Amino acid sequence: MAKICVIGTGYVGLVTGTCFSDIGHQVVCLDIDESRIKQLQKGQMPIYEPGLEQVIEQNVRAGRLAFSTNYRESLSGADFAFIAVGTPSSDDGDADMQYVKKAAISIAEHLDHPIIIVNKSTVPVGTGDWVAEIIQDLNSQDVPEFSVVSNPEFLREGSAVSDFMNPDRVVLGSTDPEAAQKVADLYETLRAPIMITDLRTAEMIKYASNAFLAARISFINEMATICESLGADVRQVAKGMGMDKRIGPSFLEAGLGWGGSCFPKDVKALAHMADTRGAHPQLLQAVMDINHNQRISAVKKLEQALGSLRGRLIGVLGLSFKPNTDDIRDAPSLDIIRMLLDGGAEVQAFDPQAMAASKAEIPQIILCDNPYAVAEGVDALLLATEWNEFKSLDFQRIKNNMRGDVILDGRNIWDEQDLHEMGFTYMGIGVPEPK
């Protein structure tokens, strides 16, 4: 059993700290946000992440997990300090490192015993060395022994707990192989393949993985656009491609494209890193452009089907950037809603978890209590996020409630033939028009 301090209680920090406690380690999750820590101490969840609340509760009760704002107490006797703070995009696309820097300085100020510092935040390649320099510089007199290990996370929002418990691999990068091995030991019970590299390579593996996944989605979305012009069905194309073991079936779902707190920020940051070093990231640029165009093209489809957006009422099902999360960061739905409003339409919407946050971003959205209320009086209905509860709706009821008959299935979850036969004008993404 190791003693771990996890700095940052966002998705990554909270899931990482909680799961480490669940596999037997002694964990303190630390944050400088007092209200967040108070909330956690009272057993209230600051984020919606399926399964997390229960695991937190169990481990707090077992005495393995605690929450604190106090660096001195949290780091006291800790074998490992995990940095899991946010690295939002700054204006030029570079990752904003102020929170990582603050965390490194705070560790340095309170360091009184040997420790391994593990970086979980997604940081520009080279940050591990930079963190080590910050700590070294601030402790120039008498630095306790420390090492920096990069341990990128591959957790998906909505399934983060099970992703932590069943990793495809654990990547560790360090100039100190002994320290990397000690971090590997923390994961021992998970029996995952472990890969140990140098610091920069581990940091790069994270960016390359996210960029590749984003590229797969943009690739299939480009195929969807081509399918539409040729009358082919992208769902079958993806299935046929995915049966090739070299390609595989995941991340080939055409739709409104990728959003969230990771892909947009990481692809942009990687392109920026490449640009500033004179390497021209042509593919990454195309991956981002295609993703942006998916949103514009959804608006164009609605405009075309309705003749004009002006004065139209449009219903939107789903606001979070993907199902099973309340996260709306860079959600395709919100971009599309902004464009619809700019075009003169009104928008009403429902989401199981993300309504208040969306309303705070775009006050003009009319919030509804359920999907049927969203359909009430609308000229068109857009499915933006494929929550399970939207998969089998009573479409007769939807039809009766709607003023118009246009459906844009932005995630290809409904049966186009059924809806066509019921009298809807159905549009999907890369799906041929039903006959």
Minimum distance from residue 257 beta carbon to ligand UGA (Å): 6
Which range, of 171-179, 181-189, 259-267, 402-410, touches ligand UGA by CB under 6 A?
259-267
258 binds ligand UGA (CB under 6 A): yes
Minimum distance from residue 301 beta carbon to ligand UGA (Å): 17
**Would you call 207 exposed, middle or buried from its count of C-beta atoms within 10 A (0-12, 13-18, 19+)?**
buried
Give me the residue label for tokens 């691999």. Answer: 169
Which range, of 27-35, 40-48, 154-162, 423-431, touches ligand UGA by CB under 6 A?
154-162
**225-254 positions binding ligand UGA, by CB under 6 A:** 251-253
- SS3 string, 110-159, reads HCCCCEEEEECCCCCCCHHHHHHHHHHHHCCCCCCCEEEEECCCCCCCCC
Minimum distance from residue 43 beta carbon to ligand UGA (Å): 25
Q: Is 262 one of the catalytic residues?
A: yes
Q: What are phi and psi of 352, to 5 degrees?
A: -65, -25
Minimum distance from residue 157 beta carbon to ligand UGA (Å): 4
The alpha carbon torsion through 234, 235, 241, 243 (nearest 10 deg) reads -170
153 binds ligand UGA (CB under 6 A): yes
Q: Across the chain, which distance is largest between two alpha carbons, in Å?
A: 78
CA-CA distance, 218 to 212, in Å (whole number)? 10
131 or 213: CB nearest ligand UGA: 213
260 binds ligand UGA (CB under 6 A): yes
* Interface with ligand UGA (CB under 6 A), residue from 146, 207, 219, 321: 321
222 binds ligand UGA (CB under 6 A): no
From the centroid of its chain, how far is CA 292?
17
| Site residue total, ligand UGA (CB under 6 A) | 21
Instruction: Specify whether the backbone of 253 is left (phi greater than 0), alpha (psi in -120 to 50) or beta.
Output: beta
154 binds ligand UGA (CB under 6 A): yes
409 binds ligand UGA (CB under 6 A): no
CA-CA distance, 362 to 360, in Å (whole number)? 6
From the centroid of its chain, how far is CA 229?
31
121 binds ligand UGA (CB under 6 A): no
Long-range residue pairs from 366-373, CB within 8 A, at least 24 positions apart, any chain: 368/315, 371/317, 371/398, 372/397, 372/398, 372/401, 373/348
H helices of 343-387, in order, are 355-361, 371-375
Q: Per-residue contact track with ligand UGA, 157 to 176, x per CB under 6 A? A: x-------------------
26 or 127: CB nearest ligand UGA: 127
Minimum distance from residue 252 beta carbon to ligand UGA (Å): 6
Instruction: Specify whether the backbone of 248 is left (phi greater than 0), alpha (psi in -120 to 50) or beta.
Output: left
412 binds ligand UGA (CB under 6 A): no
322 binds ligand UGA (CB under 6 A): yes
257 binds ligand UGA (CB under 6 A): yes
147 or 261: CB nearest ligand UGA: 261
CA-CA distance, 55 to 403, in Å (whole number)? 46
CA-CA distance, 236 to 234, in Å (whole number)? 5
Give me the residue label for tokens 């996260």. Answer: 327
- The active-site residue out of 5, 19, 29, 262 is 262
CB-based contacts of 15, cutoff 8 Å, min separation 6 = 49, 52, 155, 160, 161, 164
132 or 205: CB nearest ligand UGA: 205
Minimum distance from residue 393 beta carbon to ligand UGA (Å): 20
* Interface with ligand UGA (CB under 6 A), residue from 210, 218, 297, 324: 210
Minimum distance from residue 316 beta carbon to ligand UGA (Å): 15
Minimum distance from residue 154 beta carbon to ligand UGA (Å): 4
**Would you call 308 exposed, middle or buried from its count of C-beta atoms within 10 A (0-12, 13-18, 19+)?**
exposed
Q: Strands 146-150 and 170-174, how do they pair?
A: antiparallel
295 binds ligand UGA (CB under 6 A): no
* Interface with ligand UGA (CB under 6 A), residue from 20, 187, 207, 263: 263
Which range, of 58-66, 87-95, 134-142, 147-155, touches ligand UGA by CB under 6 A?
147-155
List active site positions: 262
Q: Binding residues for ligand UGA, per CB under 6 A?
A: 122, 153-157, 210, 213, 217, 251-253, 255, 257-260, 262-263, 321-322
